[in-house]
Structure 1
C-alpha cells in the first residue's frame, strides 16, 4: 500500500509539473471544439499559423474536445478548425502575448458547407492564470513620452507595486546595491531576470547581468505574484524580456535620442557652482528580414551611446593650517614616516580653496567625463522541421567605458566592462499531446576597474566629511554563467 501511495504522489507531481510548464515565457493557444448542441467533438484538426512568419503547428482535439498548442512564439495567429462533415471555421487576429494563454474555442455546425472566418477580439480578463503581472508591448513602449532610452528597467516603474530603491548604486557592476527593481517590499536583491526565457541574473551582485536595447524589445513583462515554479529563483519580481524577431517582411528602425544640458535649467538646490555642460546621444539601427521564406529569419540590432561633458563634483581638502602643523609625534618621527605622510599629502591639490558654504574644507567644481556604451545583438529563428522542430538563437555583446577625471591622485578610475550572452531555445513537438522545450544560456561578464595612478595606490577615506570619492579597490574579474532548462507538457 505504501508503494502504491508513493507511485500516486509521483504521478501527481509529474502531472503538476507538466501543467506548470505550460505557463512559459513563450505563449499557449488552447480551447475546446463542440457541435451546435454543445456536445464535445474529438478528432477536430486545429491548425495554428503565425501570420508574420507562416510557421504552422497542427494538433487534434482529444476525447473531451480539448486541444492545446504550447510553446508558440508570441505574435498574431490564424487558427483553423476542420472536421469532416462539419466544414471549416477560421479564427483570425489571435494575439498571443508573452507568458500568456489564449483560449480559442470552436463551435462547428454540420450545416456549414464553406469556410467561415471570424475576427477575434482579445478578452478583457485572463481566465487561465492567477499570475499578477504587468506587460508592455513594443508599440506601448515607443508611445511612452517619459521613456529613458538608456535603461530598459525604467519600464518597470510604470507598474503598480513598484518602489524606489532608497540607496545609491543600483545596477552597478562594481559596487551595486542591487537592482532598481523593487516590488511589494521584497527588496532590490530578490528580483530575477530573463531574456527570451534564458536566465540573465548576475550571481555576484544580485541584479541583471546584461541590459537590452529598448529598440529590440517586443514585450516587457514583470511578474509580481503567484507566478509559475519555473521562476522559482526570485523571491521578488520576475522580469521577462522577449526580443523582436525577423519575419517574412523587411522591417526595422533608425533612431536618434539626444539629451543636452543646455536645454535644462539649473537645479534649485545646487550650490554656487555653474551649471555643467554635458550631452548624451544614443543612436541605433534595427532590421528584421527573411533568409528563407517561412523557414529562416534574422533580426539584427546595433545601439551606440556617446555620453560626455562635465560633471559637478565635491571633495574635502586639507586646510593650509593643517598642512603646516606638526605631522608626527616624537616617537613616530622617522624619515620613513615623513616620506609616507608627504606622499599622502601630495595626492591632494594644494591650490584649491574652499568654496562650499556647507564646510570650510569643501571644494565644489567641475571635471570632464566620457561614458561611451555600445550594444550589438542578433536573433535567428529557424523552422528546422516545419510543425515539429524550431530553433531560436540569440547572441548579444555589450561594452561600457567609464572614465571620469578627479582632482585627487588615486581616485581617478577607468571602468572597462564587457558582457556577452548566448541563448538557445529548441522546441520539439513529439506528438499531438506532448511538446518539449529545451533552453541553454551562456553568460560571460568581464568587470575591470583600474586606478589611473596604479592599482597598488593606497585607498584614503575620511569619516564624517561632506563628500569624498566612491572609488574603492581595483577590480579585475570575469564570471561565466551556464544554465540549462528542460520543460515538457503532455
Structure 2
C-alpha cells in the first residue's frame, strides 16, 4: 500500500474473496463476496475507512447500501466478453464452448460447416474471419487442434469457471490467431465441498421430423450424369428422404471438489460423456437403386474429463497441476437403401471409424516476491492421437490386389490371385500430434 492508501494484488486465483481493512490491529471495514473476473481489474475501495482515519467526526449520516460496477475498465485495451459459471447456470445455451462464444458481439456460426469434432459445436467466426483463424486456451495453455487449427480441447460444461471471448485487441499471450480467442478457466477446489451430477436425455421421439428434399419438377435432363437424373425422376423426384433421419442423444456429467488439507491442498474433478446414435439417409444420386450404401446407422461418443490440484505452499507461493482430455469416437454401419420403396436394404459395409481427441497435462507456479514483483511459470504438453480407419478396410485382408487378370499364368497356375482388401491405401494410420509449451 502506498502513501495515498492505494493497493494492488495481481495474479490472484479466481474466486470470491473477503477484503478487510485494519488499523492498529482493529477491523475498520470489510468487503464481502468480492468476485474476481479473469483478465480484468476489480475495484475494492474503502472510502469510509479513509474518512475514519482523517480525524473527521460524523454527526449525522444516511447510509445507502448498493452494488455498483465500473462502466469502463480503463486497465485493459482488448475487446472481450466474460461469461461466468453463475451465468451459465441461468442461460439456455448449448453445452459447448462455441455456443457460449456466440454471446459475444460480432461472433456468428461459420459458413463453411466446420465443427469441433463429431459432437462439438459449430465453429464460430469472429468478425468475418475463417473458422481456422481462431485460438483455444485452457488455463493459459494453447489447446488449438494441432493438425488443422479447427477447434480445440474444451472443458466439461460443469467444470467451466469462466470463459473469455476475445474479439480484438488481445495481447501477445494469446497469439497464433487472426480471428478470435476462446479462453476457458477451469474450476478449482476450495475449503467447501461442492458436487453435482446431471443427465440430459434428448430422444428422437421428441424431435420434429425434417422435410424431404426433391429435385425441381421442371428441371431438364442433362448430358452430365444423365442416368442418375432419370433414376431420380423415376423415384418421383426424391433427392433425399430427410424425414427418415433419427437422432438420440444422452449426456452424463458429474463433478466434485473440495479440500485435501484445509487451507493448503485442494482438488476438483469433472467428467462428461455424450452418447449419440441415430440414422441418416444420403442423397439419391446413384443409378443402381439399392446396390450401394445410402443409409447409415451411426454411433458417436465423446468423453471429457478435467482434474485440477492446487497447492498453497505458503501464502506467497502456489502450484497448480491440471489434466484434461476431450476424446471422440465414431462408428457406424452402412446399408443399402431403396429410394423407390423408401426401405432399408441389406448390410453394405462399415462406416469409417475415427478415434481422436487431445489429452493435456500442465503445471504452473506463481510466486509473489514482495509487493511489486510476481513470477509465473507454465509448462504443459498436449498429445492428440488421430486414428482413421476408412470404410471397406479389411485389416486381415493384406494389401489390395488390382488387375488380377494381368497376372502371369505361369505363376498362378491359371487362377488369378485375389483378396478381400478393397482399400488401395491408408494414410498415416497411427498418426499422432504433440504440442509442448513453456512460458
Fold agreement, TM-score > 0.5: yes
1:380 aligns with 2:309: yes
Give the secondary structure class of the aligned counterpart of 1:403.
Answer: strand
Residue of structure 2 in register with 1:366 after alignment: 295
Q: Note the alpha carbon deviations across 1:83-132, whole angstroms, 9 max, x for none.
A: 4499633222221111111122334232499xx9x886433432322221
Give the secondary structure class of the aligned counterpart of 1:221.
Answer: strand
- Judged with a 3 Å threshold, the aligned counterparts in structure 2 of structure 1 residues 85 and 385 are, in CA distance, closer, same or farther, namely closer
Q: Note the alpha carbon deviations across 1:341-365, whole angstroms, 9 max, x for none.
A: xxxxxxxxxx617xxxxxxxxx895
| Contact map agreement 2:139 2:185 (CA 8 A) in 1 | yes
The structural deviation recorded for 1:293 is: 0.9
Residue of structure 1 in register with 2:256 after alignment: 287
1:190 aligns with 2:133: yes
| Contact map agreement 1:92 1:120 (CA 8 A) in 2 | no
Unaligned runs of 5+ in 1: 1-60, 320-350, 354-362, 459-470, 486-490
Moved more, 393-402 or 87-96: 87-96
1:395 aligns with 2:319: no
- Judged with a 3 Å threshold, the aligned counterparts in structure 2 of structure 1 residues 167 and 303 are, in CA distance, closer, same or farther, namely same
Residue of structure 1 in register with 2:209 after alignment: 266
Residue of structure 2 in register with 1:97 after alignment: 37
Distance 2:354 2:127 in 1: 33
Q: Note the alpha carbon deviations across 1:125-169, whole angstroms, 9 max, x for none.
A: 323222211121112112222x222x3221111221013211123
Residue of structure 1 in register with 2:70 after alignment: 123
1:445 aligns with 2:384: yes
Q: Which has the higher contact order (CA 8 A, sep 6+)?
A: 1
Which residue of 345, 348, 352 corresponds with 2:290? 352
Which residue of 258, 272, 282 corresponds with 1:303? 272
Q: Note the alpha carbon deviations across 1:414-439, whole angstroms, 9 max, x for none.
A: 11224210122211011111111111
1:477 aligns with 2:417: no
Distance 1:247 1:181 in 2: 33
Q: Note the alpha carbon deviations across 1:179-236, whole angstroms, 9 max, x for none.
A: 8131112222221111111111223211333221111101111011122222233222
| Contact map agreement 1:383 1:390 (CA 8 A) in 2 | yes
Residue of structure 2 in register with 1:467 after alignment: none
The alignment of Structure 1 onto Structure 2 pairs a total of residues equal to 366
Give the secondary structure class of the aligned counterpart of 1:268.
Answer: coil
Which residue of 421, 428, 435 corresponds with 2:367? 428
- Judged with a 3 Å threshold, the aligned counterparts in structure 2 of structure 1 residues 242 and 273 are, in CA distance, closer, same or farther, namely closer
Residue of structure 2 in register with 1:148 after alignment: 94
Q: Note the alpha carbon deviations across 1:36-94, whole angstroms, 9 max, x for none.
A: xxxxxxxxxxxxxxxxxxxxxxxxx1355432211001121122233449963322222
1:406 aligns with 2:334: yes
Matches within 5 A, 1:138-217: 138-145=85-92, 147-149=93-95, 151-172=96-117, 180-217=123-160
Distance 1:313 1:269 in 2: 11
| Contact map agreement 1:451 1:474 (CA 8 A) in 2 | no
Unaligned runs of 5+ in 2: 58-62, 214-239, 337-347, 402-424
Residue of structure 2 in register with 1:277 after alignment: 246
Distance 2:264 2:56 in 1: 34
Give the secondary structure class of the aligned counterpart of 1:158.
Answer: coil
The structural deviation recorded for 1:474 is: 6.4
Give the secondary structure class of the aligned counterpart of 2:116.
Answer: coil
Distance 1:208 1:266 in 2: 29
- Judged with a 3 Å threshold, the aligned counterparts in structure 2 of structure 1 residues 275 and 262 are, in CA distance, closer, same or farther, namely farther
Give the secondary structure class of the aligned counterpart of 1:280.
Answer: strand
Distance 2:156 2:309 in 1: 17
